[in-house]
């Protein structure tokens, strides 16, 4: 199965359809009047769909087992056609499109099975996804495309040339995939005045995002939060909470990180862990959703 461990949990919804076409009006009348020999077709088929959708990963090997938190089955009868509308919702890391399509197909097959004794000409048509919601595809067109960023690596060891930077490069890759241009990438020692001077300079240049990596731990030289917090106009606790919550699901040590998020005027300041995994997971936790902050800072309407 596809690795989804890096994804965020969000509300996911999918609606699929299947169309059952009978061959004579008498079949439709039997369904409406509940005179089909095998029982109530619509109720029984709905029950079959509810059972079937929960078994999707048992049938399709690449589907992830996930919590089905809502299933809805609706019917629309038009002439000789019965349209099955199957809705599935979950709060999870991956979507429910296949589950919805599987559910719709099971409903249609059960209807076929119940109706075949009285109608030999039944067909199943147009099993397809009608709509889906949730996940990053819902937001990809909602962020500004002209954002710029500076990435600052805070490390005595790396700045002295004794170790290669990987965390900063990981951050850069994530920024690029989020459509953010890199204006500056620099490595500095863990010195409060240097950290502060970089923030002042980049903010004055109009850079939208300044991301520091390193110096957020608890050693004596970890001073990035101490340098940045006094400079911030406003903290953004929700971003900090999202970073630590995401990390805590993956390692118990995330609670020791002192990641910082806030603004200096219209510039977003982030201070992330200095380890490669810590930086990557922090970026995965908040990007690209965090870019919505720039619509708010520009007083854009936000839904």
Would you please indicate which residues are annotated as catalytic (active-site) residues? 113
Residue 140 makes CB contacts below 8 A (sequence gap 6+) with 288
Q: List Cβ neighbours of 168 (8 Å cut-off, separation of 6 or more).
A: 151, 152, 153, 185, 187, 213, 279
What angle do the packed helices 97-115 and 41-54 form, to 10 degrees?
140
E strands within 242-290? 260-264, 267-272
Q: Among residues 167, 195, 191, 172, which one has the least CA distance to residue 182?
A: 172
Q: Where are the beta strands (DSSP E) in 53-192?
A: 70-78, 81-92, 123-133, 148-154, 181-188
Closest CA to 212 of 229, 204, 220: 229
89 cis-preceded (ω within 30 degrees of 0): no
């Amino acid at each position: 199965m596809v690795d989804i461990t890096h994804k965020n949990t969000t509300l996911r919804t999918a609606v699929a359809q299947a169309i059952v076409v009978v061959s004579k009006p008498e079949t439709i009348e039997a369904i409406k009047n509940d005179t089909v020999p095998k029982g109530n077709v619509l109720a029984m088929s709905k029950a079959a769909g509810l059972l079937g959708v929960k078994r999707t990963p048992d049938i399709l090997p690449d589907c992830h087992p996930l919590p089905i938190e809502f299933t809805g089955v609706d019917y629309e009868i038009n002439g000789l056609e019965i349209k099955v509308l199957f809705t599935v919702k979950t709060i999870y890391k991956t979507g429910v499109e296949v589950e919805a399509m599987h559910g719709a197909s099971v409903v249609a097959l059960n209807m076929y099975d119940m109706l075949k004794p009285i109608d030999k000409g039944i067909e199943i048509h147009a099993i397809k996804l009608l709509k889906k919601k949730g996940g990053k595809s819902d937001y990809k067109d909602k962020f500004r495309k002209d954002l710029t960023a500076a990435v600052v690596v805070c490390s005595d060891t790396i700045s002295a040339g004794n170790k290669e930077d990987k965390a900063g490069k990981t951050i850069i890759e994530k920024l690029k995939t989020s459509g953010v241009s890199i204006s500056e990438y620099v490595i500095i020692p863990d010195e409060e005045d240097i950290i502060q001077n970089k923030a002042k300079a980049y903010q004055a240049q109009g850079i939208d995002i300044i991301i520091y990596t390193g110096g957020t731990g608890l050693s004596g030289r970890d001073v990035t939060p101490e340098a940045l917090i006094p400079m911030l106009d406003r903290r953004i606790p929700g971003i900090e909470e999202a970073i630590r919550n995401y990390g805590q699901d993956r390692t118990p040590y995330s609670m020791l990180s002192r990641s910082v998020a806030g603004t200096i005027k219209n510039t977003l300041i982030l201070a992330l862990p200095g380890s490669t995994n810590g930086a990557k997971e922090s970026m995965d936790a908040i990007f690209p959703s965090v870019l919505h902050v720039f619509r708010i800072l520009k007083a854009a309407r936000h839904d």
